[in-house]
Structure 1
Amino acid sequence: MALREYTRKRQFDRTPEPRPEQSVEPDRREIFVVQLHHASRRHYDFRLQVGDVLKSWACPKGPSYDPKVKRLAVEVEDHPVSYASFEGDIPDGYGAGHVDLFDTGVWATDEDPQAQLRKGHLRFELYGKRLKGTWHLVRSHRKERQPAWFLIKGEDAFASDVEADDLLDATMIQSTKRASGRSGGARDVAAKLEGKQSKATPKPGRKRRMDPAKIAASLPGTLKKNRHPGFFKPELARLRETPPTGDDWLSEVKWDGYRILTSIAKGKVDLWSRNGLSWTAKLPEVVQAIEALGLDSAQLDGELIAVTDGQPDFNALQQTLSGEQAARLIYMLFDVPYLEGYDLTRCKLIDRKEALRQLLDVAPAQLGYSAHVVGHADQAFAQASERKLEGILCKRAHSPYRGGRGDDWIKVKRLEADEFAVVGFTAPKGSRKGLGSLLLARPAPKGEWAYVGRVGSGFTDDMLRDLARTFSASASRTPTIKHTGEAPRDAQWIAPALVAEVYYRGIGNQGLLRQPSLKAMRPDKSPASLRDRDRSTSITTRKRPASGAKTRTSKRDGDAMIVITHPDRAVYPKDGYTKQDVADYYRAVMDWFLPGILHRPLSVIRWPDGIAGQSFFQKHVPAGGLKYVGVARLTEETGASAMYLFPESADSVMELVQYNAIEFHPWGAHVEQPDCADRVVFDLDPGPDVAWNNVKAAARLMRKRLGQLKLESFLRTTGGKGLHIVVPLNPPSPWDEVKTFARGFAETMEAMHPLDFISTSSKARRTSKIYIDYLRNGRGATAVASYSLRGRPGAPVAMPVRWEELGRLRGANQFDLKNAVTRLKRQRKDPWEGIEEVKQSLTRVLKALAKK
């Protein structure tokens, strides 16, 4: 059910319940909440966050910890996420009565929750203060007015005969007595709770034969010592190419996740990142699991991972931390520097690990023990490579625990090897002779080649000289392949003729080889032979192309890599367009759309529930990050700095679409040169009574006045009410210079044509006038991108047009999700073709104006 049903049933001027738009921050873990509702019929409201809403069920008797008990749960309308913190009295009307917060926390599941709900069986785990462990929601086959489900406790360590009413505190008990007239008092329920709560929240550590203090005291080299609670400096590893040999080393899996350090003082658990940032609030299930060990003081070291299909999945980890998934998280522990008052840092690593193993013998499923093998590091590495794991960590078995980077821990990452065509080279630098690096490419669709990076290590001096002689006669500044990707500006290109076999450590976010090194030149193979291999060879990347210039994308780039979840979700409900339709649109226009946003700091507007719901303005990196979207720390006009998003490829765009982005608003600058703008954007925003023909006449006049300053301009419909006039700058100009010019020009237009234009944003003064919005030209300000959809009914598109087309335009929202694609298919050339070649200096214009 959509939030419109929630809205339909409530009068928000009478009820304190939150409006749908009163949302919480969108980038946090998916939560659950249970509220005790004293309505006409007392019941518990059980809610799970799925995406950006709370899926909700009314449970008359509340959850039961007994796996044999099936509790009826009637599905009701979806609620906004902000409802999770609601407590108070709902007045007469729908749902009248008092609401108490019974429990809240995060939840997880191993599979897609939407798919499970459609099938009628959702398996999940709760990490709350009262509700813990495995649970099931199973759809009833009975025909009811509202969908009926059963809420059932799973068989696990938390199962018991405890009921929800047994876990009420005194305040809720008094509310229950007033609402339902139940007999009994707080003292009776408290006695029952005291006897049964231990069954609902068992302490696995208490079942151990030997207590942790005795384990710590028994280790050779242990020292009785009080440790200061809080963050401690982690031990770090050095990267090596090959595993060490001998039985002095033990090898563990190198987990693909986030390093997490745990400190426990007087039973209180705190989690830290390797850089000392608190992660305690982000990982309640890990905190609960460690609390279940029953420790008074300790320091633990490990890696937080998410597992899908039996493999660590870093992407699932990021998406879970950002609220896009609810995958199960596991804290893989591999060291214990301190335990129950004993300093273990001087003990041998192999002894510390044995202590840790005993500590975790009976532990919750959220805690894992990172096992090891002694010696045979080469075999361990081979097995890790075969399983496609990131690599191994080799540690000296008898080493102490030392904070910082040293030689006792060595990481060996999995190396892949493949063959690539040589398509160019760079000049040598410093004392290097011959050439600097080889430029590599691999086959792409339609007989083309795709740039995948450069390799500069692994060569002998003789090889460098020989290759330089071979290439010198045929080198050119003009690329010999179509997809030049992130190639260096000083590249010399050659036709694909030689093959190089290269080691590398996976593929980076931009589609480039990570840490490549030459294995061998392959004179026995030709580039043509690479096309015949039975493997996927379609990796396409890009150098930042000219805005307004058409680029090509491979099928894989922006397609196969990004899976669109919830494709049937209504985005434009009145128009019938779904999330899949939005994704298909951006794929269809990608060649035209991408150049205008590539490598520009970007703000997106997200509509998780479609344009009928609440929108979110996103310009900074969400918690957990994004896999294919670039990140840059930039200073805003206010002086503050933040981590900004910027698209690196078509996959960046599709990942943001998957993240429910509809509108794309880039800066007028690139991340490589954020202090200077290469665009001036004037937004002509007409008042409600301004005729469209007047808007077109105003655009022509603006073009004429800019032309008098010898500034060429380009035109774009906004998809809203007005037009954008865009002035390219080459070379770019500092932001203060651009803003000064934009303001001065807008104020001049107002002074010369006071009945037509206004340069201030006062709505009271904009009647019958066109507002020239020049404020899009400050550092950090944005304007909608060409070909971007708009979050408005009709799915309009911001469309670049030729000046010659202005007379035929029927409105600023003339182009939409459907006819925009049709237009591009029959369009012979980009309306903004040549925008990057326009050489015009704003500094020159300002100097000329200053002389007048």
Structure 2
Amino acid sequence: MAGDAAQLIVPGPHGERQVRVSSPTRVLWPEVGVTKLELAEYLVAVGPAFIEANGGRPVSLQRFPEGVDGEQFFSKNPPRGAPDWVRSVTVTYPSGRRHPQLVLDEPASAVWAVQMNTVVFHPWASRADETDNPDQLRIDLDPQPGTGFAEAVPVALALRELLAEVGLTAFAKSSGSRGIHVFAPIEPEHEFLDVRHAVIALGRELERRMPDLVTTNWWKEERGDRIFIDYNQANRDRTMAGAYSPRPLPQAPVSCPLTWDELPTTDPMAHTVRTVPRRLAEVGDPWSGMHDEPGRIEMLLEWWQRDLDDGLGELPFPPDFPKMPGEPMRVQPSRARHDDASD
């Protein structure tokens, strides 16, 4: 039975805060027995690195009231009862609707989110002071059936080299599952659609260089066993699990920042809620200072225009997005061929 409550002392930039954690013995990850209190203590242990990576941004909370095997929901609006030191910022969603979204500024706010049964933190690619213009170019390397983390590694390494060609510095992390996330800090000079186009141009160029390993095909039936460059993760209100965020998988893995040297040999499932605090203490944070020298995406936007001039147009958007200018039909290719044949 879950206990009544625990009180955690959480250091931060404004001094120590006391955060109450109810039901501390509730098991969130049944397979390994990680409790709600352990998760809160994990966020205390990695707090400074977690906030450097995810703080100061609009964030969505993926909440699991009964543990990772139970029901879940996303919380974008600030939950009721938020302390006065947890703030929000108004963001614009793809529909044009505007609404406040939570911002985490210190480790105590992340611990408070755990008190609200948050397991996964999904930060935006833009900051709270300029929500319309991303300051991160994010590339999601998504292994398809028959591939996994090992197959994504050579693609990530080639992507790093390609980003360097256009003057961008790449940082890698495990997704906490089978994939790899590659981030590059950029000046917040362009809105989300431009950044999406930069990611598409980057993906297409990588696909040209590694056609047997990489695909930008949106439709799963066309991807085969290649690594999918999920360009739609660069859209407004599309997020990935943040650095050091836990994932709702059996071993309580963490989306863990990695050095490029260790990427080829690491086991992503070895980086968990229970192992990452020691790793961080021993090897430091590979993403520390990520935004010290942001780059620009002008060359990638030139590649995008080049591809347009060569007849390569817009790619499909997610199904919940409004129809976008120049977008092809949102029809599965095999379905389109079937409909054409029927006609």
Class of the TM-score when normalised by the shorter of the 2 chains: 0.7 to 0.9
Contact 1:715 1:723 in 2 (8 A): yes
Q: Which structure: greater strand fraction?
A: 1
Call closer, same or farther: CA 1:851–1:569 in 2, change over 3 Å. closer
Equivalent of 1:822, from 268, 274, 278? 278
Query: Are 1:832 and 2:309 counterparts?
Result: no
Instruction: Give, in angstroms, the shift of residue 666 of structure 1.
Output: 0.2
The equivalent residue for 1:585 is 42
Call closer, same or farther: CA 1:625–1:839 in 2, change over 3 Å. closer
Contact 2:43 2:107 in 1 (8 A): no
| AA aligned opposite 2:13 | T
Secondary structure at the residue paired with 2:270?
coil
Query: Are 1:720 and 2:177 counterparts?
Result: yes
Instruction: Give, in angstroms, the shift of residue 771 of structure 1.
Output: 1.0
| AA aligned opposite 1:771 | F
* Equivalent residue runs for 1:492-571 within 5 Å: 540-541=12-13, 554=15, 556-557=16-17, 560=18, 562-571=19-28
Call closer, same or farther: CA 1:845–1:771 in 2, change over 3 Å. closer
Instruction: Give, in angstroms, the shift of residue 751 of structure 1.
Output: 4.0
The equivalent residue for 1:576 is 33
| AA aligned opposite 2:137 | V
Question: Rg bigger for which structure?
Answer: 1
The equivalent residue for 1:786 is 243
Instruction: Give, in angstroms, the shift of residue 619 of structure 1.
Output: 1.1
The equivalent residue for 1:738 is 195
Instruction: Give, in angstroms, the shift of residue 583 of structure 1.
Output: 0.6
Question: What runs of 5+ residues in structure 2 fail to find an aligned partner?
Answer: 5-9, 308-343
| AA aligned opposite 2:43 | Y
Question: What runs of 5+ residues in structure 1 fail to find an aligned partner?
Answer: 3-113, 116-537, 543-553
* Equivalent residue runs for 1:265-276 within 5 Å: none
**Distance in 1, Cα, partners of 2:187 & 2:122:** 21
Instruction: Write the deviation string for residues 158-190 of structure 1: whole angstroms up to 9, x where unpaired.
Output: xxxxxxxxxxxxxxxxxxxxxxxxxxxxxxxxx
Instruction: Give, in angstroms, the shift of residue 842 of structure 1.
Output: 1.2
* Equivalent residue runs for 1:219-238 within 5 Å: none
**Distance in 2, Cα, partners of 1:663 & 1:795:** 11
The equivalent residue for 2:323 is none
User: More deviation in 723-732 or 784-793?
Assistant: 723-732
The equivalent residue for 1:806 is 263
> TM-score, structure 1 length as denominator?
0.34
| AA aligned opposite 1:756 | L
| AA aligned opposite 2:287 | W
**Distance in 1, Cα, partners of 2:11 & 2:278:** 28
Equivalent of 1:774, from 231, 237, 242? 231
**Distance in 2, Cα, partners of 1:626 & 1:607:** 21
* Equivalent residue runs for 1:452-471 within 5 Å: none
**Distance in 2, Cα, partners of 1:596 & 1:750:** 29
Instruction: Give, in angstroms, the shift of residue 833 of structure 1.
Output: 3.1
Instruction: Write the deviation string for residues 55-82 of structure 1: whole angstroms up to 9, x where unpaired.
Output: xxxxxxxxxxxxxxxxxxxxxxxxxxxx
**Distance in 1, Cα, partners of 2:35 & 2:271:** 18
**Distance in 1, Cα, partners of 2:36 & 2:282:** 25
| AA aligned opposite 2:223 | R
The equivalent residue for 1:842 is 297
Instruction: Give, in angstroms, the shift of residue 627 of structure 1.
Output: 4.0
**Distance in 1, Cα, partners of 2:188 & 2:76:** 26
Secondary structure at the residue paired with 1:595?
helix
| AA aligned opposite 1:773 | D
Secondary structure at the residue paired with 2:197?
helix
Query: Are 1:632 and 2:104 counterparts?
Result: no
**Distance in 2, Cα, partners of 1:816 & 1:695:** 20
**Distance in 1, Cα, partners of 2:149 & 2:181:** 14
Instruction: Give, in angstroms, the shift of residue 623 of structure 1.
Output: 4.4
**Distance in 1, Cα, partners of 2:132 & 2:29:** 37
Instruction: Write the deviation string for residues 586-614 of structure 1: whole angstroms up to 9, x where unpaired.
Output: 11110211111211000111110001110
Instruction: Write the deviation string for residues 351-388 of structure 1: whole angstroms up to 9, x where unpaired.
Output: xxxxxxxxxxxxxxxxxxxxxxxxxxxxxxxxxxxxxx
Count of aligned residue pairs for this structure pair? 302
Instruction: Write the deviation string for residues 393-420 of structure 1: whole angstroms up to 9, x where unpaired.
Output: xxxxxxxxxxxxxxxxxxxxxxxxxxxx
**Distance in 1, Cα, partners of 2:139 & 2:223:** 16
Instruction: Give, in angstroms, the shift of residue 796 of structure 1.
Output: 0.0
Instruction: Give, in angstroms, the shift of residue 845 of structure 1.
Output: 4.3
Contact 1:606 1:618 in 2 (8 A): yes
Call closer, same or farther: CA 1:656–1:692 in 2, change over 3 Å. closer
RMSD of Structure 2 on Structure 1 (CA): 2.4
Instruction: Give, in angstroms, the shift of residue 691 of structure 1.
Output: 5.0
Query: Are 1:688 and 2:145 counterparts?
Result: yes
Contact 2:133 2:188 in 1 (8 A): no
**Distance in 1, Cα, partners of 2:84 & 2:13:** 15
**Distance in 1, Cα, partners of 2:295 & 2:216:** 25
| AA aligned opposite 2:66 | D
Secondary structure at the residue paired with 2:68?
coil
Secondary structure at the residue paired with 1:741?
helix
Contact 2:59 2:102 in 1 (8 A): yes
> TM-score, structure 2 length as denominator?
0.81
Q: Which structure: greater helix fraction?
A: 2
Contact 2:55 2:104 in 1 (8 A): yes
Equivalent of 1:613, from 56, 63, 70? 70
| AA aligned opposite 1:650 | P
Call closer, same or farther: CA 1:627–1:615 in 2, change over 3 Å. farther
